[in-house]
Amino acid sequence: MFALFLDALLLQAGYNAALVALGAALLGMAAGAGGTFLFLRKRALVSDAVAHATLPGVGIAFILMVALGGDGRNLPGLLLGSAVSAGLGLLAVQWIAGRTRLAEDVAIGAVLSVFFGFGIVLLTIIQTMTRGYQAGLESFLLGSTAGMLFQDAVVIAVGGALAAAFVVVFRRPMTLVAFDPEFSASSGIDVRRMDLAMMGLVMAVTVIGLKIVGLILIVAMLIIPPVTARFWTERSERVILIAGLVGGLSGYLGAALSASAPNLPTGPIIVLVGFAFFLVSLLLAPGRGVLAAVIRRRQFQLRVHRRQGLLALAHGEAIFDPLTLAVLRREGLIRQDGVATEKGRAHAAKTLRDERRWALARRLYQDEAVAGRYDGLTPIETVLTRDEIAELDRRLGPPAPAI
């Protein structure tokens, strides 16, 4: 199996597999980057409504093509139909959220379930309609690359390439709009048109992805990469870049994995590869990752208790909080019975001095950069220069003896 996986990775597993892998990679890139715009505008799940809304379009396109005497399974025809109904679904979401008192999440849920339900009705009609044509429409639910026609693979590869190219060309205005619509309007970008283009991209990705990933899971390709990317950077243009990368890699690795063994459906595998990227990022990313946050939070809590404890010591107040007592004891600042040690008194005096420096500093420097940082934990050394602190100390006089 590993050899097969390697073959698929190196595009040696046959024409179709190679085209599908390339198409999935390009599509993943476009989806990751396009999904970032939705994510940054907090509308990630709009894509779920768009994806589910493709189903009736597929059904109607099939029925129409058969009625006109053609082959119902013609992929470009089906994709066109799905794009039209996805567009209607999107309009419905916007109309409900904009014109009635219902919120956008309600509109999304209503559109996705109703369109999908109607699509299922159409599928049951098709199943009983004409003998010989029934096969395959269910594959749009979960995607299926097995037994795909060569020209279908070409359509997907070309579609993926076009979507990726679109992202590359429009990345700058789209980043601006996603990040700060008002500023971009003032710098001459037509925000409405850009929004439309963004939605168009999401629809295109959805439609192209139908055959590979299926309409239930395509939304994952739009959501998981940006969420993953968000862990690694605070800058929006990098989010787009990383999301494109994560999406492309998930698509490529997923398609290759799925080609390397039977019973590995392409769509779910691509999604799960993306989820693996997400999981690693959630746990291990520096800064926003869970591990880093847990460590920081605990250190922060200990710092708060230490500082509060030292201030209490300096003021001769009783300490009740068990965690404060534990922190002070562990550092040898108080004895078991709660009385301050030599070291504890020294630290307390230093803390008190720090407080006094702060109090004085806030009187002397009445600008936000200094006064605004007075939160009890920021060491004054990080805000003032050494000579400024020396000046404070000169004004304060010699340190008061510890109480």
Partner 1 sequence: MSNPALELASEAGEQLARPVPADSPLAIRGLTVSYGEKPAVFSVDATVPARSMTAIIGPNGAGKSTLLKAALGIVPRLSGRVLAFGVPLAQVMHRIAYVPQRASVDWDFPTRVIDVVLMGLYRELGLLGLVRRHHRERALACLERVGMAEFAGRQIGALSGGQQQRVFLARALAQDADLYLLDEPFAGVDAATERAIIDVLKALKAEKRAVVCVHHDLATVTDYFDHVLLINVRRIAEGPVASTFTAENLQKTYGGRLATAHIDQLKLPAA
Partner 2 sequence: MGAEFVQLSLTPLLIGVLAAIACALPGNFLILRRQALIGDAISHVVLPGIVVAFLVTGVTATWPMLLGAAGAAVVAVILIEAIKRLGRIEPGAAMGVAFTSLFAAGVLLLEQSDTSGVHLDVQHALYGNLESLIWFQAEGWHSLADPVALAALPPELVRMAVTAAAIALLTAFFWRPLKLSTFDEGFAGAVGIPTAAVSLGLVIAAAVAAVAAFDAVGSIIVIAMFICPPAAARLMTNRLEVQVLWSVAFAALSAILGYVLAGYGPLWLGADNAVSAAGMIATVSGLILALACLFAPHRARIGAPKGV
> Interface with partner 1 by CB under 8 A: which residues?
101, 296-297, 300-301, 304-305, 307-308, 311-312, 314-318, 320-321, 323-324, 352, 356, 359-360, 362-363, 366-368, 371-372, 374-377, 395-397, 400
> Does residue 301 bind partner 2 (CB under 8 A)?
no
In DSSP notation, 332-390 reads TSB-TTS-B-HHHHHHHHHHHHHHHHHHHHHHH--SHHHHTT-SSSS-GGGTS-HHHHH
Q: Are 232 and 215 in contact (CB under 8 A)?
A: no
Task: Output DSSP code: residue 216.
Answer: T
Residue 53 three-state SS: coil
> Does residue 219 bind partner 2 (CB under 8 A)?
yes
Exactly one of 133, 170, 179, 275 binds partner 2 (CB under 8 A); which one?
275
> Does residue 70 bind partner 2 (CB under 8 A)?
no
For 74, list phi and psi in degrees, rounded to 5.
-55, 115
C-alpha distances out from residue 325 to 280, 305, 340, 353, Å: 37, 8, 11, 22
Exactly one of 2, 68, 101, 382 binds partner 2 (CB under 8 A); which one?
101
> Does residue 277 bind partner 2 (CB under 8 A)?
no
> Does residue 297 bind partner 2 (CB under 8 A)?
no
Exactly one of 9, 87, 118, 350 binds partner 2 (CB under 8 A); which one?
118
Separation CA 384–CA 178 (nearest Å): 37
Q: In this complex, which beta carbon is closest to partner 1, that of residue 337 or of residue 375?
A: 375
Q: Are 341 and 334 in contact (CB under 8 A)?
A: yes
> Does residue 128 bind partner 2 (CB under 8 A)?
yes
Q: Which does 305 bind (CB under 5 to 8 A by kind): partner 2, partner 1, none?
A: partner 1
Separation CA 148–CA 19 (nearest Å): 11
> Does residue 90 bind partner 2 (CB under 8 A)?
no
Exactly one of 25, 29, 164, 220 binds partner 2 (CB under 8 A); which one?
220
Q: Which residues of 36-62 are buried (b: 16+ CB within 10 A; e: fewer)?
A: bbbbbeebbbbbbbbbbbbbbbbbbbb
Q: Which does 374 bind (CB under 5 to 8 A by kind): partner 1, partner 2, none?
A: partner 1
Q: Which does 338 bind (CB under 5 to 8 A by kind): partner 1, partner 2, none?
A: none
> Does residue 252 bind partner 2 (CB under 8 A)?
no
Task: Tell me the two tokens of residue 18.
Answer: 């190679």
> Does residue 251 bind partner 2 (CB under 8 A)?
no
Q: Which does 119 bind (CB under 5 to 8 A by kind): partner 1, partner 2, none?
A: partner 2
Separation CA 208–CA 169 (nearest Å): 19
Exactly one of 2, 3, 69, 99 binds partner 2 (CB under 8 A); which one?
99
CB atoms within 10 A of CB 95: 12
**CA 146 to chain CA centroid, nearest Å:** 30
Q: Which does 34 bind (CB under 5 to 8 A by kind): partner 1, partner 2, none?
A: none
Binding mask 22-41 for partner 2 (x = CB under 8 A): -----------------x--
In DSSP notation, 295-315 reads HHHHHHHHHHHHHHHHHHHHH
Q: Enumerate binding residues for partner 2 (CB under 8 A).
A: 39, 42-45, 47-48, 95-96, 99-103, 105-106, 108-110, 112-121, 123-125, 128, 138, 141-142, 216-217, 219-220, 222-224, 226-227, 230-231, 263-265, 267-269, 271-272, 274-275, 278, 282, 288, 290, 293
